[in-house]
Chains A and B, each alone.
Chain A
Amino acid sequence: MASIPAQASVVVIGAGIVGNSLVHHLAELGWTDIVQVDKGPLPNPGGSTGHASNFIFPVDHSREIADLTLDSMAQYKELGVFTESGGFEVARTEERMEELRRRMASARAWGIESSLVTPAEVVEKVPFLDPSVIVGGFWTPTVGVVDSVRAGTMMRESAEAAGALTVSPNTEVTGIDVDNGRITRVHTSRGEIVTDRVFVACGVWSPRIAAMAGAEIPLTPAVHQMISVGPVPQLAERPGEISFPIVRDMDTFCYERQHGSDMEIGSYAHRPILHDPDEIPSIEAAKLSPTEMPFTDEDFDPQLEQAVELMPEVLSNPDVEIRYAINGLLSLTPDGAPILGESPQVAGLWSAAAVWVKEGPGVGRAVAEWMTNGLPEIDVQGADIARFHPHQRTREHVRARTSEAFNKTYGIVHPGEQWASDRNVRLSPMHAREKELGAVFFETGGWERPQWYESNAGLLEEFGDRVMPRPNEWDGRWWSPIINAEHLAMRQRAGLVDLSSFVIFDVAGPAALDAVQRIALAQMDVTIGRVVYTPILDENGGFRSDLTIMRLAHDRFRIVTGAAHGMADVKWFHDRLPASGAQIADLTSSWTTIGLWGPNARDILGGLTSADVSYEGFRFGTARTIEIGSLPVLASRISYVGDLGWELYVPMESGLRLWDVLYEAGRDHGLIPVGLGVYGTTGRIEKGYRAFGAELDSERSVVEVGMSRPKVKSQDFVGRAAHLRHREEEPKAVLCSLTVDDHTSASGQMRYMLGGEPIVSADGDPLIDGHGRNAYVTSAGSAPSLGKHVLMAFLPPAEAVLGNRLQVVYMEEFYPVTVASVDSTPLFDPDNECIRR
């Protein structure tokens, strides 16, 4: 048996499209002594790459996925394995046509050439499609097919040719040693490899391999059914693998893809069929390949009828036979995003899993850059393996969410859509009260958070049209005018917000100051009791996070961040602590937080405490412990909604008491419960507050988002050099707030944008910034205090001029907008008088 190198700089497990792309890019980036193992033979070791249908539609609602796909397409083209066929997404219903219009928005936003077409135009290119079945289509001329096995082979061989890589097929990984939380060794059927880095790029088997190191890669193998029928005379007439466009029959969740004289029909319509990684047969026991599971006819039968409806001429031909049919395995994750990056559980254990053929090369490049430089060129933070909260890594959660998500693959998914499964995992102490108040719960990080309260419905009458009702069902789905009513009531009186979902952790120890000073952009050597809002940058000066830090003691800092990205923040801090002198303690489940904001906040709080909460006695940006009855409460005077008030922190077990006390005391001051609809959108957007993941990401600089301060602290911090450079440069884009001037659609209905829409010039031309990005709406929401619908977008600097008249494209109609802010100046209360009252 051939032996294997005893040492490696990195062991890449998996020789599918991801592993092969990875070794190629690692070698390009200068890595040597890479060892790649796969338990299967080459060139097709039997994973999902081997049975993939191998076509690529570049348009995706996710910018991250679209970026990875476009990069992958470029790489496939460079390798000469890309064949452009064009592709249609066809609609059978008007509801789907609306979705195709939204896809047009994404196409415009990411700068991908696409167009809406009539049934007749579809038939021009796909003559065997029955136009009477469809109402229209979405045409993307750059759709194509790739040979992913060939591409992988070429990439792997290039790394071998460079002398950087040893490949060992037919080699099973039998164990991974971890010492002191770090990878030390990989055991294989051909011997041991000493290494401190392992890349898990083994698709559906990834959870099993990660488990060997005591870590979790929360994905599940799931079935995607595919059949191949033929020979089809109409297809055989034209030479080559593919000469007709691929058709996605969106409403039936199926696709039809020519493969020579055969037609492949794939489906995402059947029941979710999930497997455990341990259930996947061995290569020996598998009839075809291990990931080509036995076909279950009955699951596919309904799709056959629908396929025949769409292409009766070719598919009802009795000579066209079903020659190949599989339940092909692919990887699904609980939130649908890939799982990339270094595990927060084991240092040196990297994941590149749950990746489709369309993203494979791009992901390989991104993670190779990430491991080499600390971060990839393309922002892949949405796919960061560190994002998962512990419960999100459990098998049950993965099963529940992937079961729910499977049929959304071709589904029409509203941007606000909530998960139905595995809810009520994390409940705040006041959850029962909130339910009594008719809270409508949205979930983030497992936490049930009131988005609005039906008990506030009475406010609608009070505020009338100021709540900006949305007559269109889609615009108003997962939304309520009560949010805007709560907003206005808070601005006039006071609101109480359950913020229990905050991720809270302390950095403590003699080296704590040095540690946070090195991580945060803002000056951290502040007096005890100061609260500092700060960007967290990466080495390139892009955003890694934004959060608040309280200095609680000379050697203790409390970091408060959001539930969605908090887990990645914990890892970011953890990885940058000194070897000794500072520790992290995650206090998320120890502390609950209640926000109290509004002009009456001081009166309410003042009536409950003997502490001085006056303007002078409790300055903005400070925190200290006060007594509210028998509760010691850490009060922090900051605001993400732009109003006077405090975040009040108490131990989880006292949260209900504090809520009740505040609620009771607020009764005479017009206090109402306020949901996250206000906290997350309306409150911040009229204040121009940026949100991580929307406006803030690794591609945009502090300058471009308008958050640079007059001075930069003298102490070094991550990203400082880049930040200094950005301050000297002309910005490539400028984050602006725009107001919609006229909401009236062609049909006379008032329409409200939800985010993701392209911004174009008054003439309808795309606006492209210095990064090569088309302008698009990063956040959209009501600004009830202004009576305006506000959009945030990065514009080319030349367009970032107050009063500039542009247009937003929504559902393929153009609406006039005006640039209302070109820096972080709030549209509402520009002098921040409300906060500082």
Chain B
Amino acid sequence: MNILVCIKRVPDIAGSVTLDATGTRIDDSGLGHTKSSHEECAVELAIQTAAATGGTVTVLTVGPAEAVEQLRAAVAVGANDGILVEAADPSVFAPEDIAQIIGDVIRDRAEAGQTFDLVLTGDDAADTGDFQVGIRLAYDLEYPVLTNIQTIRAVDGDVGGGGEGGATGSGAVGAADGGSGGVADGGAGVIEARGIGPAGTEVFTLALPAVIAVQEGGVDPRYPSITGRMKAKKAPIAEYDAPEPGTGSPRIRLELPEVRQSSVTILGEGPDAAPALVDVLEEIGVMRP
């Protein structure tokens, strides 16, 4: 199973941030960059699944030239290659634009002979938190889409079986019919996906190709090995230039939260304050009898 994972270079922020002079971006000059934690899990799932099925993992990002670091970091943990769609400032794009760009690249790669059975994204990016690129991409590709997925597993045979859901769509992946290119061959496989729902773990079974948006928590993303990192340095990275924004970002500016006034009661310093704390716990009534 060949898997494409879409990742985004985001600033690795801690407690507080400052804005740049334009007021439309945060000042990331002193910050490190990473990919979102959802995407780290997506990469891990892709690597495990590809390994189990004898497939490959390609990572794609739309971002500045430096975003190649995030692609290489993914290769360092086991992805095979990367695609950089270069856009100096991705914040000018709307989620619709990003989905369109990725869709176009997937179709272009298909023409070049590289097809993907499964496209993974994170649920949302750690910076913009739009929660829609994966879904919009799926509609663009006319693939079915799941979100909030924590684990995936390639399964044999049909999409059928399991639970009270009744008959399946007889193996057909409705939305994928007549897909507009970039479509993997029919019968590319079936994936079982799990995510946390309101009443427990929800299990989905889906014929490929498909888009799955991953939520952090199902797997522990691995760290790179030294040899992985060395391999990453030499990994092939296909490069595209992003087009001008179509829809364009609706952003006017960024704002920072006001500093809240504290109303904390300091119970004391050090172990001597322990009785005061136990008093509070007793008052709240959470002490075991």
Residue numbers in B under 8 Å from A279 (CB-CB): 29-30
B10 to chain A, nearest CB (A): 12
Residue numbers in A under 8 Å from B32 (CB-CB): 287, 293-295
Once the chains are docked, how many angstroms separate the CA of A434 from the CA of B233? 50
A617 to chain B, nearest CB (A): 70
CB contact under 8 A between A285 and B16, given known A307-B226, A316-B227, A317-B225: yes
Q: Which of B31, B72, B223, B225 contacts A294 (CB 8 A)?
A: B31
Residue numbers in B under 8 Å from A298 (CB-CB): 69, 233
Q: Across the interface, do B233 and A301 meet the contact criterion of CB distance under 8 Å?
A: yes
Q: Across the interface, do A321 and B14 meet the contact criterion of CB distance under 8 Å?
A: no
Q: Across the interface, do A321 and B230 meet the contact criterion of CB distance under 8 Å?
A: no
Residue numbers in A under 8 Å from B64 (CB-CB): none
Give A323's nearest chain B residue, CB to CB: B223
Once the chains are docked, how many angstroms separate the CA of A318 from the CA of B29? 33
Q: Across the interface, do B223 and A321 meet the contact criterion of CB distance under 8 Å?
A: yes
Q: Across the interface, do B12 and A297 meet the contact criterion of CB distance under 8 Å?
A: no
Q: Does B15 reach chain A (CB closer than 8 Å)? A: yes
Q: Across the interface, do B223 and A308 meet the contact criterion of CB distance under 8 Å?
A: no
Q: Across the interface, do A285 and B15 meet the contact criterion of CB distance under 8 Å?
A: yes
CB contact under 8 A between A315 and B73, given known A279-B30, A284-B14, A287-B14: no
Q: Does A594 reach chain B (CB closer than 8 Å)? A: no
Number of interface residues of A (CB under 8 A): 29
Q: Across the interface, do A315 and B72 meet the contact criterion of CB distance under 8 Å?
A: no
Once the chains are docked, how many angstroms separate the CA of A298 from the CA of B73? 10
Residue numbers in A under 8 Å from B226 (CB-CB): 229, 304, 307-308, 315-316, 320, 322
Residue numbers in B under 8 Å from A323 (CB-CB): 223
Q: Does A282 reach chain B (CB closer than 8 Å)? A: yes
Once the chains are docked, how many angstroms separate the CA of A305 from the CA of B69? 18
Q: Across the interface, do B230 and A318 meet the contact criterion of CB distance under 8 Å?
A: no
Q: Does A553 reach chain B (CB closer than 8 Å)? A: no
Q: Which of A282, A285, A297, A316 contacts B69 (CB 8 A)?
A: A297
A425 to chain B, nearest CB (A): 31
Give B72's nearest chain A residue, CB to CB: A297
Give B227's nearest chain A residue, CB to CB: A316
Q: Does A319 reach chain B (CB closer than 8 Å)? A: yes
Question: In the complex, which of the residues B13, B222, B229, B230 has the most CB atoms of chain A within 10 Å of its own CB atom?
Answer: B229
Q: Across the interface, do B16 and A284 meet the contact criterion of CB distance under 8 Å?
A: yes
Q: Does A286 reach chain B (CB closer than 8 Å)? A: yes
Q: Across the interface, do B14 and A305 meet the contact criterion of CB distance under 8 Å?
A: no
Question: In the complex, which of the residues A280, A286, A323 has the most CB atoms of chain B within 10 Å of its own CB atom?
Answer: A286
Give B69's nearest chain A residue, CB to CB: A297
Q: Across the interface, do B12 and A322 meet the contact criterion of CB distance under 8 Å?
A: no
Q: Which of A281, A285, A286, A305 contacts B230 (CB 8 A)?
A: A305
Interface string of B21-57 (1 = CB under 8 A from A): 0000000011111000000000000000000000000
Residue numbers in B under 8 Å from A301 (CB-CB): 229-230, 233
Q: Across the interface, do B73 and A308 meet the contact criterion of CB distance under 8 Å?
A: no
Q: Across the interface, do B33 and A287 meet the contact criterion of CB distance under 8 Å?
A: no
Q: Which of B14, B69, B223, B229 contacts A286 (CB 8 A)?
A: B14
Q: Does B224 reach chain A (CB closer than 8 Å)? A: yes
Q: Does B17 reach chain A (CB closer than 8 Å)? A: yes
Residue numbers in B under 8 Å from A293 (CB-CB): 30, 32
Q: Does B228 reach chain A (CB closer than 8 Å)? A: yes
Once the chains are docked, how many angstroms separate the CA of A280 from the CA of B31? 10
Q: Across the interface, do A322 and B225 meet the contact criterion of CB distance under 8 Å?
A: yes
Q: Across the interface, do B12 and A304 meet the contact criterion of CB distance under 8 Å?
A: no
Q: Across the interface, do B225 and A320 meet the contact criterion of CB distance under 8 Å?
A: yes
Residue numbers in A under 8 Å from B17 (CB-CB): 285
Once the chains are docked, how many angstroms separate the CA of A301 from the CA of B232? 10
Once the chains are docked, how many angstroms separate the CA of A372 from the CA of B226? 51
Q: Across the interface, do A304 and B229 meet the contact criterion of CB distance under 8 Å?
A: yes
Q: Across the interface, do A322 and B229 meet the contact criterion of CB distance under 8 Å?
A: yes
Q: Which of A306-341 contact B (CB under 8 A)?
A: 307-308, 315-323
Once the chains are docked, how many angstroms separate the CA of A294 from the CA of B28? 11
Q: Which of B190-228 contact A (CB under 8 A)?
A: 222-228
Residue numbers in A under 8 Å from B16 (CB-CB): 282, 284-285
B237 to chain A, nearest CB (A): 13
Once the chains are docked, how many angstroms separate the CA of A297 from the CA of B18? 25
Give A316's nearest chain B residue, CB to CB: B227
Residue numbers in B under 8 Å from A322 (CB-CB): 223-226, 229
Give B29's nearest chain A residue, CB to CB: A279
Once the chains are docked, how many angstroms separate the CA of A287 from the CA of B30? 11
Q: Across the interface, do A304 and B230 meet the contact criterion of CB distance under 8 Å?
A: yes
Once the chains are docked, how many angstroms separate the CA of A801 from the CA of B222? 70
Once the chains are docked, how many angstroms separate the CA of A304 from the CA of B228? 10
Give A327's nearest chain B residue, CB to CB: B32
Once the chains are docked, how many angstroms separate the CA of A319 from the CA of B225? 7
Once the chains are docked, how many angstroms separate the CA of A287 from the CA of B226? 23
Residue numbers in A under 8 Å from B72 (CB-CB): 297
Question: In the complex, which of the residues B15, B30, B224, B226 has the most CB atoms of chain A within 10 Å of its own CB atom?
Answer: B226
Q: Across the interface, do B229 and A287 meet the contact criterion of CB distance under 8 Å?
A: no
Q: Which of B48-78 contact A (CB under 8 A)?
A: 69, 72-73
A334 to chain B, nearest CB (A): 24
Residue numbers in B under 8 Å from A281 (CB-CB): 30-31
Once the chains are docked, how many angstroms separate the CA of A282 from the CA of B17? 10
B103 to chain A, nearest CB (A): 30
Once the chains are docked, how many angstroms separate the CA of A297 from the CA of B229? 9
Once the chains are docked, how many angstroms separate the CA of A100 from the CA of B226? 29
Interface string of B91-113 (1 = CB under 8 A from A): 00000000000000000000000
Give A263's nearest chain B residue, CB to CB: B226
B94 to chain A, nearest CB (A): 29
Interface string of B253-289 (1 = CB under 8 A from A): 0000000000000000100000000000000000000
Once the chains are docked, how many angstroms separate the CA of A503 from the CA of B233? 53
Give A301's nearest chain B residue, CB to CB: B233
Q: Which of A620-661 contact B (CB under 8 A)?
A: none
Q: Across the interface, do A318 and B14 meet the contact criterion of CB distance under 8 Å?
A: no
Once the chains are docked, how many angstroms separate the CA of A819 from the CA of B18? 69
Q: Which of B13, B69, B269 contacts A287 (CB 8 A)?
A: B13
Residue numbers in A under 8 Å from B69 (CB-CB): 297-298
Task: List 26 A-B pairs, Cβ < 8 Å.
Answer: A2-B269, A229-B226, A282-B16, A285-B13, A285-B14, A285-B15, A285-B16, A285-B31, A286-B14, A293-B30, A293-B32, A294-B32, A297-B72, A298-B69, A301-B230, A304-B229, A308-B227, A308-B230, A315-B226, A316-B226, A316-B227, A320-B225, A320-B226, A321-B224, A322-B229, A323-B223
A residues within 8 Å of B by Cβ? 2, 229, 279-282, 284-287, 293-295, 297-298, 301, 304-305, 307-308, 315-323
A285-B13, A294-B31 are known contacts; what are 5 more A-B pairs with Cβ within 8 Å? Answer: A286-B14, A294-B33, A297-B229, A308-B230, A316-B226
State the 10 A-B residue pairs at the shortest beta-carbon distance, nearest first.
Answer: A294-B32, A321-B223, A284-B15, A284-B16, A287-B14, A318-B225, A285-B16, A315-B226, A316-B227, A322-B224
B residues within 8 Å of A by Cβ? 12-18, 29-33, 69, 72-73, 222-230, 233, 269
